[in-house]
Structure 1
Amino acid sequence: MKHTACGEELERLFKESEERRRCLYPNSRSVEKALLRRVEAKEVYSPYPGLFERSCWSAQEYRRLVATRVVKTLAELHPEWVFTSFSAALMYGLWVPYSRLNPIRICAPNASYRRRSKHLWVSRLAPTDVHLEGEANVTGLCQTLLESALDAPVHLALPTIDSALRYLLISREDLLEYAQREGYRRRGIGRARAAFAHADGESENGGESMVRGIIIELGFMPPIMLQAELPDPLNQGHVYRVDMLWELDDGRCVIGEVDGARKYKDADCLKGKTTQDVLVEERQRESRLTALGMPVMRVLVRQIFEPGYMESLLEAFGIPRIGPGVR
């Protein structure tokens, strides 16, 4: 009689892998078959061929955590692999957009397997400055960020680059110098240089960085300052911090605020208030900011990819175009 992995055994294996911060890699054919049956029943999630997670980990808010565990597991299974681009960025603890968590990206100049598949992209470039980061061999930070910027449009590369500057891991000048030296004639280098030139460690989250990236791609004037502090006109000594600030040629200033559900959720956690309380405070805050003579342009993250949304918004608030944009 063939042995079949039971629920208790799978529970034990999942617990062991989670304690090690790894995905579950089956240790026998019977375990693998049991896991595949549960994948079909949507009880178990397979983020990478042969690797498994509890189904609850597939929720959107856990996607970066799962992607990190995938890289760590693959690093253990393939110690010769060197991770690069967004996969390496995860190991550095940088912010990576959901759409760039997969496929896994590695440098393997002498590899015989396919260069690209649904789950794995292989760069034939030799990795430089390889070191251990987050229990995986990764390319140096400059190469990691350059590969990320070559691999994605500005609005998806900028969040990762901004977070590297925010954590003081590197400077904008170092990145531009590296791109000048190592990016010559590489496909997408103009886009990568634009992302490096506009990177700003003052950006507080990926949503704000993506909005700024879209503004740059569309050829509109980017904000002159992030997280600008403005005085409260009714409370001397109190200041309001705004996400973005523009100063236009005609002397007007425009405030940009990036709104997303995560922003309000985080505020609730920090202040112990309901979402309704936070929204009421936001309306009061906005009324006081407009009293300074500065219109407030609110950008909804959930709409930034809708055709024409950002262009119409920027034009309505008088933000000028300054060039053809970056593609």
Structure 2
Amino acid sequence: MLNPEQQSMHMIRALSKLHPQWTFTGLSAACIYQYEHSHALHNGTVSIASTKESNKHDNKNLHRIYAHPSTKRYRYRGVPVTSPAHTLINCASLPFDKALSIYDSALRRNHTTKLEVETMMIQTVCNEQAVTALLQHANPLRENGGESWTYVHMMQLGYAEPLFQVNFDNPDNPGIPYRVDFCWKLHDGQIIVVEYDGVAKYKDASNPHRASLKAKLEYERRRDQHLKEAGVTSINHLFYEDVADLQRLNILLREAKVPQIR
């Protein structure tokens, strides 16, 4: 019943007890640090920092990533891991649209900075082009992995860079303004808002302490109305299926009149 990330966590913790000399890195360390990422990345492989290359005695699911003997060893939540910056360096080998959420998450949690990662990149054997591209686009203002993933697909389609987490007045609760995921403020006065709506926010009706589905939908309706009253020209909600299909996403963004620069 555990999701892929939870399964990996149990495996990493067990292996850290069996092999206390191991230092986990890459996606395995990202799990320990609790950086947001897609469960699709988990394939049963565990990554460790090693001065040795993989050999015939290694389990097929053990992935050794070269690290200099002087590499510092950290301990987080009881598990030996590479530093956050070093972990990000090794996550650059993942697909770009999946890796960016890990970079955003690490920056959002203030575990490291872009400068620390750039410094580590100079000191480490790595794919500098991939790391540089991820640092160029990484932004802690994106609040979850879904937003990071959506952003990458927007950029792939050539849309203009949006503003993130822009605040708008909330008449129902002035002390807690509305924050929108993506916002474009155009020269002609139009304000276009795009929201990535994860299915999970609507799905869990089993918890009595969570708002009912009807209440959630009513909140979204009132929120959209308030945003329009605050000057937002159009509000567009994207779901997983919309973002996963680039052709479909392109049609939706064009219909929403999001500016496309290439």
- TM-score normalised according to structure 1 size: 0.69
> Per-residue CA shift, 1:217-260, capped at 9, x if unaligned?
3332232222x21124x669473221222223544321121112
Aligned residues: 258
Distance change >3 Å, CA 203–CA 117, structure 1 → 2: farther
Deviation at 1:118, TM superposition (A): 5.7
Matched residue of 1:304: which SS?
helix
- Take 1:111 and 1:315, find their aligned partners in 2: how far apart are those partners? 48
1:32-111 matches, within 5 Å, as 56-57=1-2, 62-102=3-43, 103-111=45-53
Query: 1:103-182 counterparts in 2 under 5 A?
Result: 103-113=45-55, 119-126=61-68, 128-148=71-91, 150-179=92-121, 181-182=122-123
Q: Which amino acid aligns with 1:124?
A: Y
Give SS of 1:222's match. Answer: coil
Unaligned ranges ≥5, structure 2: none
- Which residue number in structure 2 is paired with residue 204 of structure 1? 143
Percent identity over the alignment is 26
Structure 1: gaps spanning 5 or more residues = 1-55
Q: Which moved more, 1:254-263 or 1:237-246?
A: 237-246
Counterpart amino acid of 1:284? R
Q: CA deviation at 1:143?
A: 1.0
TM-score by length of 2: 0.84
| Structure 1 residue corresponding to 2:243, chosen from 288, 294, 304 | 304
Asked if 2 retains the 8 angstrom alpha-carbon contact of 1:268 and 1:275, the reply is no
Shift of 1:175: 2.7
Partners of 2:215 and 2:173 in 1: CA distance: 23
Q: Aligned runs of 1:180-199 on 2, under 5 Å?
A: 181-182=122-123, 186-187=126-127, 189-199=128-138
Please give the per-residue CA displacement for 1:123-155, whole angstroms capped at 9, x wherever unaligned.
23436222222332211111101111x222332
**Cα separation, 1, equivalents of 2:33 and 2:189:** 41
- Tell me by how many angstroms 1:271 deviates: 6.5
Alpha-carbon separation, structure 2, partners of 1:244 and 1:115: 49
| 4+ residue runs over 3 A deviation | 114-118, 176-179, 234-239, 248-251, 265-272, 320-323
Report the residue type matching 1:192 in the other structure: V
Higher relative contact order (CA 8 A, sep 6+): 2
